[in-house]
Structure 1
Amino acid sequence: MMAAAVLALYAVVAVVVLPGLLSRSAWAERAPRMAICLWLAACASVVASAVFSALAVAIPATVIGHGLAEFFEACADMLSNGVFLTSPVARIALAGAGLITARATYCGAAIVVRAQWERRRHAGMLNLLGRHDGELDAVVLDHDEAAAYCLPGRTGKAVITTAALRSLAPEQVAAVLAHEQAHLRGRHHLVLAAAETFSRAFPHLPLFVRARGEVARLIELLADDVAARHHPRIHIAAALVRLATGRAPAFMLGAGGETALTRVRRMLSPAAPLRRRERIAGLAAVAFLLAGPAAVAAIPGLSSFLAHHCHNISIF
């Protein structure tokens, strides 16, 4: 029961405390990819902790102590004998674990299905109204609003409006399309869908709400950095200024939007990249967030296993 209590306490505290800690990370804009991993790992660790806490309550550690084969046999016996059904605590714990898992799975599937439907509909519109420009490797859409965005998916494509082509210099067009290609190559829509899944499955919880907004912002910073490897930052900044008011359609990723002007300052005043020690610390934090809940949940079973086979060994 100690492991279950630790996991439950962590889930409750982390969902409130982690948003503040991660938001104050001074190096997030210096390493957006690492920051994205940390936000998603934090969300996953809270959900995993809640599920493992419930399972730790429902499944006694002694059941695991006899070995893997005996563990599955004992679980089958417990189910067939109705032990779970007659134990209110275990029944509630299992129901809670199942509800959390089902909720996250349902919301994730709903987001993916809705996004695919919207993108297929938009792709059909682009086939009718847009034209592919081989030189730009993008679809040009006749529209009065200056905008550039990408249509993710297996046949992903970058889209730019005629208004954007009129207002941007050729080198700026190349820079902004490199930003959109970075979204497509990096499959950033899947990353955003993961953050959206946590936010929709567990609404109003600070960590998941904040993660959704931060991941969306950091994805744009990451695409800017990828584009800056091949294009001068001044060109990216100039393009962002002109596209700041442009908005991408639903379930698309666009170069403009609310974060454009803050990204301009970042492009013009780039921060130093992370040092090796900082990168290692970030990777260690991601690993701890992902592996920590499973490790804590496994300690009682491992202790029981060692005690059963070594008699005098106990670690928990």
Structure 2
Amino acid sequence: MTAAVALLVYAVVLAFFGTWPLRRLTWTERAPRLGVIVWQAATASALGALVLAGIVLTASTTRASHGLAQLLDACQAILQAHYGGVKQPVGAYAGMVVAIGVTGWILVRVAVSLVLTARRRRGHLRALAVVAWPRPDLQALVLEHRQPMAYCLPGRHRCVVLTTGALDCLDEGQLAAVLAHERAHLRGRHDLAVTVAAAIERAFPGVPLFRAAHQEIAHLVELVADDAAARRHDRATVAAALVTLAAGRAPAGALGASGSLALHRVRRLLAPHRPLSRPARLGGGLGVGLLMILPIVLAANPAIIVFLQRHCHLPT
């Protein structure tokens, strides 16, 4: 029971109070790809702790059978003592409901979100087949519209879409930078990160961590694409293209170069920070590892003690 309570407390604290310290990580804009991983790890850590709490509560009332190996037979009593499990089956049933329910709810919501997004994209592609025309030299589709817009549709039939307004307003260098931005989205499958984060936010509405993770991941993948474009083109050129497209809005299921934070991204491009140092990147990687492993350590603590007592003969 102690391990289950510790996991539950950890999940609640991270989900409701972990947003503030995570949003104070200013280096994420200097290493946006690592920033995306940090937010994904925090989300997985909170959800994993909740599921493991249910598993631990279920396991705490499980009796080892005579057919198990001798080590498990020897460990059974110690595990029971450390878990302090609920003796009635109600505890095990509650843990099973939590573990299976949370896991199933997440999988269903993510699957539904992916299916609906794919359906919207297919519908948009069918509409584009009627009203848009290909530009083989740009490897993009062109849509008649006065508003300067550029976006990409990921998936099996992925493509980049430009409006005639964008073609009229962007010069050759800016147009190439926009195409590089959109193709970075397609190569990195950034849509999956954003869609999964949005699905988890909808699955658990009102949880600050999941709401912040969705917002931050959607922002950071744009910075990843900006940096990819800036590696091939002048940063001022990329910034000018963003200014031109700032008012445009990508349709549902698409990723676009514009957005509500476009002006912030322009300032970042024009006054870039120093690249994140190797020690700082290592620290970020260690933080990701800690977020992923801490729930497992909390759940496995009684088993670790058993292992030490059985094999290392250490006092515990």
Which is further off, 58-67 or 259-268? 58-67
Q: Which runs of 5+ in 2 are unaligned?
A: 77-85
Q: C-alpha distance in 1, partners of 2:49/2:215?
A: 23
Stretch of structure 1 that moved more, 152-161 or 42-51: 152-161
Q: Which residue of 1 aligns with 2:20?
A: 20
Superposed CA RMSD in Å reads 2.4
CA gap of 1:268–1:68, structure 2 versus 1, over 3 A, is farther
Distance 1:229 1:111 in 2: 33
Report what 1:77 is aligned to. none
Post-superposition Cα deviations, 1:284-303, rounded to whole Å, max 9, x if no partner, equal 01111112212221221233
The Cα of 1:264 is off from its aligned counterpart by 0.6
Residue 39 of structure 1 is matched in structure 2 by: 39
In the superposition, relative to structure 1, how do residues 169 and 303 fare at CA in structure 2: closer, same or farther (>3 Å)? Answer: same
Q: Which residue of 2 aligns with 1:29?
A: 29
Paired residues of 1:138 and 1:158 also in contact (CA < 8 A): yes
The answer (yes or no) to whether the contact 1:67–1:305 under 8 Å persists in 2 is: no
The residue type equivalent to 2:112 in the other structure is: A
Query: Structure 1 residue 68: deviation in Å?
Result: 10
Q: How many residue pairs end up in the alignment? A: 304
- Kept in 1, the 8 Å contact 2:61–2:92? The answer is no
Which residue of the partner structure matches residue 257 of structure 2?
A: 255
Q: Distance in 2 between matches of 1:35 and 1:137?
A: 31
* TM-score using structure 1 length: 0.90
SS state of the match for residue 136, structure 1? coil
TM-score, scaled to structure 2:
0.90
**Does residue 280 of the first structure (1) align with residue 243 of the second (2)?**
no
Question: What is the CA distance between 1:252 and its match in structure 2?
Answer: 0.5
Structure 1 gap ranges (5+): 75-83
Letter in 1 for 2:228: V
Contact 2:60-2:92 at 8 Å conserved across structures: no
Within the alignment, does 1:6 sit opposite 2:6 as a pair?
yes
Can you list the C-alpha shifts for 1:93-123, whole angstroms capped at 9, x where unaligned? 1111111111101100010000110011111
Partner residue, 1:111:
113
Write the distance in 1 (CA, Å) between the matches of 2:47 and 2:14: 10
Matches within 5 A, 1:67-216: 67=69, 87-216=89-218
User: Match for 1:128: what amino acid?
Assistant: V
- Secondary structure of the 1:229 match is helix
> What residue identity is the alignment partner of 2:57?
V
User: In the alignment, is the contact (CA less than 8 A) between 1:7 and 1:49 conserved in 2?
Assistant: yes
1: CA distance between counterparts of 2:313 and 2:267? 62
Which residue number corresponds to residue 248 of structure 2? 246
